[in-house]
Amino acid sequence: MGAVSELSSEPVRIDKWLWAARLVKTRPLAAEAVTGGRVHLNGRATKPSKEVRPGDTVEVTIGQLRREVVVLGTSERRGPAAEARRLYEETEESIARRERLAAERRLAAQPMPAPGARPTKRDRRRLEQARRRFRGGL
C-alpha cells in the first residue's frame, strides 16, 4: 500500500510526492521549495499540504533548472530511482529546455584565472608538459 512499485492513484501531499519521485533530495527541501514558491501545481503556486493526483501538472524550479512533469502515479514512500521515474513523465518542452541549458553550460567559457594568480595543479602540469614537448622538438 503506497509503495512505489504499486503506482497508486490516491492523493498524496505534494512535498511527499516530490521526495518520492526523487525530484528533490530530501522532504524538508521539498517543503522549502513549495513554500518558497518554486513549485507550481497546475499552473498555480501551492502549499506543502496540497494534494497531487495522477493527471496533475507540476512545475519544479531548483537552481537554474525548471522541470515540468505530468503526474502518472502517486506514492508516499521513496523507492529506487527506476521506480520513482514511473511516477511522472517530463513534458517535451521541459526536456528540450533542460538539454539546451546543459549544452549552454558545456559551451560556456572556462573562467580565466586572475592576472598574476598562481596556476592550479592542472595548469602547472599542462605547462610543464608543453615545455617538455617544446624542448624535445628543437
Q: What pLDDT digit, counting tens, does each position of 62-105 carry?
A: 888 899 999 999 998 999 999 999 999 999 999 999 999 888 88
Model confidence pTM above 0.75: no
Domains of the chain as residue ranges with CATH: 12-101 (3.10.290.10)
109-115 CB contacts, 8 Å cutoff, 24+ apart: none
For residues 37 and 122, give the distance between their C-alpha atoms in angstroms, rounded to a whole number: 41
Q: What is the pLDDT of residue 42?
A: 94
Residue 49 CB contacts under 8 Å (≥ 6 apart), including other chains: 13, 14, 15
Chain centroid to Cα 116, Å, comes to 37
Checking phi first, is residue 76 left (phi over 0); if not, alpha (psi -120 to 50) or beta?
A: alpha
pLDDT at 4: 41
In the structure, what pLDDT confidence band is assigned to residue 1 with cuts at 50, 70 and 90?
Answer: very low
Picking from 82, 88, 91, 32, the residue whose alpha carbon sits closest to that of residue 62 is 32
Q: Enumerate the β-bridge partners of residue 81.
A: none
Please name the residue ranges forming H helices in the chain. Answer: 14-20, 27-35, 81-84, 92-107, 121-137
Q: For 74, phi and psi rounded to 5 degrees?
A: -125, 160
